[in-house]
Amino acid sequence: MTTDDLASWRGRSETVHDELASAQLLAAAATFDDAILTSDRPATIPALWHWFYFLPRAPHARLSPDGHPERGGFMPPVLLPRRMFAGSRMTFHAPLRLATPARRDGVIREVTMKDGKSGPLAFVTVGYRIWQDGVLCLEEEQDIVYREQGAPVAAPVPIALPVPPAHAITRDVTPDPRLLFRFSALTFNAHRIHYDREYATRVEQYPGLVVHGPLTAVLLANLVRQHTARELATFSFRGVAPLFDLAPFRLVAIPDGDTVTCQALGPDGRIALEATATLAPA
């Protein structure tokens, strides 16, 4: 399938409505042991937690063997087997209020095919805007990458991680199957690489369960939020290498004025995900 074959998907749009009920927020807070559980009843949704709303609801009969919904419809019917959420860029204009109806408008902005080192790649750029009461609250642009099965992925070899800068904020995370399963449930994501070890290792040839890229991004955004009283103005991230449930990984956030540079370091010391947050005026 070529870019020309997929060109008709450019400009394709969808609109999804959600009531933004508190149940998802409270479930997320329990998943992350977030202090929001012990605070007064929250009125707004923390940055990046919008991913727990506007969920896809494909019938079970329309799931592919890997757990993803069958392709076609809004997302283009790319035939390459592996699908990854590779990155995102977000701008927060106004807080999303709980228990207030919201609308998310999505559009396919670009679809391209390229040849990579491991074979053909397909890149899909999706733009989203979320509105409440006629006010634009959030803009997001997501990068979805499709690729061939590829060679088996080797397990990382743990090392002693480098000492972070003195002013860095850090947290070590143990990505056990309970955390991965709960995040899959929060996002209604049935992709089996995150909870089905036999499938992940025998079929997709990973060394263990795969940590969701968005989970790592949320953990980094949570780390920033928990160490500042200021709201996020923007947040962007890019996945670099996969993380697995085989060993802890480290979150690092380095504040510098209005900017916070973030990384997730794998147990082998390699950067698995990098992100940048900017803070709104105090």
The predicted structure's pLDDT at residue 2 = 59
Residue 159 identity (one-letter amino acid):
I
CATH number belonging to domain 3-279: 3.10.129.10
Kindly give the confidence (pLDDT) of every residue in the chain, 282 residues in length, as a single tens digit, with 9 standing for 90 and above: 556 677 888 999 999 999 999 999 999 999 999 987 666 667 899 999 999 999 988 999 999 999 988 887 888 988 888 889 999 999 999 999 999 999 999 999 999 988 877 788 999 999 999 999 999 999 999 999 999 888 899 999 999 998 998 999 999 999 999 999 999 999 999 999 999 999 999 999 999 999 999 999 999 999 999 999 999 999 999 999 999 999 999 999 999 999 999 999 999 999 999 999 999 998
Q: What are phi and psi of 26, to 5 degrees?
A: -70, -35
Tallying the residues shown for the chain, one arrives at: 282
Residue 46: HSE in the Cβ half-sphere, 13 Å Cα cutoff: 24
How far apart are alpha carbons 183 and 214 in whole angstroms?
A: 9
Q: Which residues contact 187 (CB under 8 A, 6 or more apart)?
A: 51, 52, 55, 212, 214
The predicted structure's pLDDT at residue 40 = 66
Long-range contacts of 176-180 (CB under 8 A, 24+ apart): 176/245, 177/209, 177/245, 179/31, 179/215, 180/209, 180/211, 180/212, 180/215, 180/245
How far apart are alpha carbons 108 and 12 in whole angstroms?
A: 5
The predicted structure's pLDDT at residue 37 = 66
**What's the pTM value of the predicted model, to 2 decimals?**
0.95
Instruction: Calculate the CA dihedral of residues 217, 95, 126, 146 and round it to 10 degrees.
Output: 20
